[in-house]
Structure 1
Amino acid sequence: MSRSLASRLVAQPLLHKSSIPQCTRLPAQGARAFSQTSRRLEDGPPKPKSSSKSLLETLYGTPQVPKSDSAEKNVMSQLSQSSVFKAMATSRVDTSSLSGRAPAPKPVEELEPYHLHIYSTKHNTHVTCTKPNREPIISLSCGNLGYKKSRRGLFDSAYSLTKYLIERLIHTGWPMKMDRLEVVMRGFGQGREAALKVLMSPEGKILRDKIVRVSDSTRLKFGGTRSRRPRRL
């Protein structure tokens, strides 16, 4: 033996440590390599993944950037030109009572048209033209044209009466002043149909273009006293 006992004892623990293979040296559970830890520290704390919208934007919407004064003026000018504001500006609602002032009275001629009343019975026919305030302009009956007794209730007499009344109105210039005309019928005599025939004829064209309404004001009886007995011939 060339070496001494002391040198062999010193060399034995070094050989024993080096004899352990590398694959059996496993790191402790949950530990991390030093090289990886240093690299993570150099990169900084982990960053959250970028998303298209954050949670607050999803709940409350995207924040609106305050507009400048010029942008607000443009928006107000567009609103003032909208149809809603125009309709509110041209509203016909009378708000004078809210301010304590009495509403200005409107002229009657703007509310009511002229009237042509045709009252026909089996004995006679009456035709009256009135103003919008119901003041009569002209009133005639078949007796004013010279018809007597039973001839006053015939079709021909009522036709002549209506035609004559229209000629009198044209002579005095009233059709030029009339903008609207209402025909009011009353009764069921022969003069009712005769007056309508005149208005539909060329003689009544000057008044036919101004008619806005045709109404019936025939009196209807509901109950009441006993009617007169029918006449027997």
Structure 2
Amino acid sequence: MSRPLTSRLAAQPLFRSPRAIATNCSLRGARFLSQTSTRWEDPKTDKPKSVPARPKTEHLLESIYGTAQTARNRSAQQPNAMSDLSQSMVFQALNKSNIDTSALSGRAPEAVQPKDDELEPFHFHIFSHKHNTHITCTKPNREPIISMSCGNIGYRKSRRGTFDSAYSLTKYVLERLIHTGWPTKMRRMELVLRGFGQGREAAVKVLMSPEGKVFRDKIVRVADSTRIKFGGTRSEKPRRL
């Protein structure tokens, strides 16, 4: 009666040499990886059979990336690629914009000239309330050129807040500006209105009339700087007659 499998395995020695393992193996060519040669014997013919050699790393890289001649051609074509990049749409857009790209080309920084739309215009202020009308013309740096009110042209007391006084004041200010030669120096002008008195409409009527034709063509913007009361102190008691 044969012994069980466990007893047969226990009867075998624990430490066996590699040569004994190789002889007992069904395949003759079984060896450790470190002892494997480039040739092995065919069990049918008992003749040595050659194993195909591995391709060299250089040939493998050449088959994938191309030869060294291709790399030299790429390096020779690199300046052409940079010239094409400099002529691309991105560089053309940078040249047209106000961005200073002189640092990229190695040139000295150039002063960027502002456009006409970015320059501050002259200002023509009209401040009208129920008692008087004030007109002030200023330079782009806010320095006043002329500043007058209805009282400066001879109107007194309640007549200073009328429509006629504001109309006469606007005509007088425009004549003074034309006489001193300011229209030739003004290219752009901003009209700033403040208050809701009768002089507001009177000044606009003068600018729309033939007397204001010289300055009407220079107006690029109309703004309203009327003060809006938000909270604050209590209003004065209305007058009763």
Q: TM-score range by the shorter chain?
A: 0.5 to 0.7
- Find the aligned partners of 1:162 and 1:70 in 2 and give their Cα distance: 74
Q: Distance in 1 between matches of 2:85 and 2:125?
A: 51
Q: 2:130 aligns with which of 122, 134, 137?
A: 122
Q: Does 1:137 align with 2:145?
A: yes
Structure 1: distance between partners of 2:195 and 2:207: 18
1:87 aligns with 2:73: no
Divergent runs of 4+, >4 A? 65-75, 93-96
Give the aligned length. Answer: 163
In 2, Cα distance between the equivalents of 1:87 and 1:183? 35
State the alpha-carbon separation in 1 of the partners of residues 170 and 145 from structure 2.
Answer: 14
Q: Which amino acid aligns with 2:219?
A: I
Alpha-carbon shift at residue 74 of structure 1 (Å) = 4.6
- The answer to whether structure 1 residue 166 and structure 2 residue 160 are counterparts is no
What is the match of residue 155 of structure 1?
163
Structure 1 partner of 2:206: 198
Partner of 2:236: 228
Please state how far the C-alpha of 1:156 moved relative to its aligned partner. 1.4
Deviations 1:152-193 (A, max 9, x none): 111111111111101100110111111211111000001001
Q: What amino acid sits opposite 2:85 in the alignment?
A: L
Aligned-residue offset at 1:112: 2.0
Deviation at 1:197, TM superposition (A): 0.9
- The root-mean-square deviation of aligned C-alpha atoms, in Å, is 3.2
Mind listing any 5+ residue stretches in structure 2 that lack a counterpart? 1-63, 65-69, 103-110
Deviation (angstroms), 1:94: 6.8
CA–CA distance in 2 between the matches of 1:214 and 1:112?
14
2:120 to 112, 116, 121: 112
SS in structure 2 at match of 1:213: strand
Larger Rg: 1
**Distance in structure 1 (CA, Å) of the matches to 2:147 and 2:195:** 17
The offset of 1:70, in angstroms, is 7.5
Amino-acid identity (%): 73
The amino acid across from 1:206 in the alignment is V
Please state how far the C-alpha of 1:232 moved relative to its aligned partner: 2.5
Tell me which moved more, 73-82 or 189-198.
Answer: 73-82
- Equivalent residues of 2:94, 2:101 under 8 A apart: no
What is the rounded CA distance, in whole Å, between the counterparts of 1:145 and 1:129 in structure 2? 17
Matches within 5 A, 1:47-58: none
2:87 maps to amino acid: Q
Give unmatched runs, 5+ long, in structure 1: 1-59, 97-103
Q: TM-score, normalised by structure 2?
A: 0.59
Give the whole-Å Cα distance in 2 for the aligned partners of 1:194 and 1:174. Answer: 22
Q: Could you say what secondary structure the match of 1:122 adopts?
A: coil
SS of alignment partner, residue 188 of structure 1 = coil
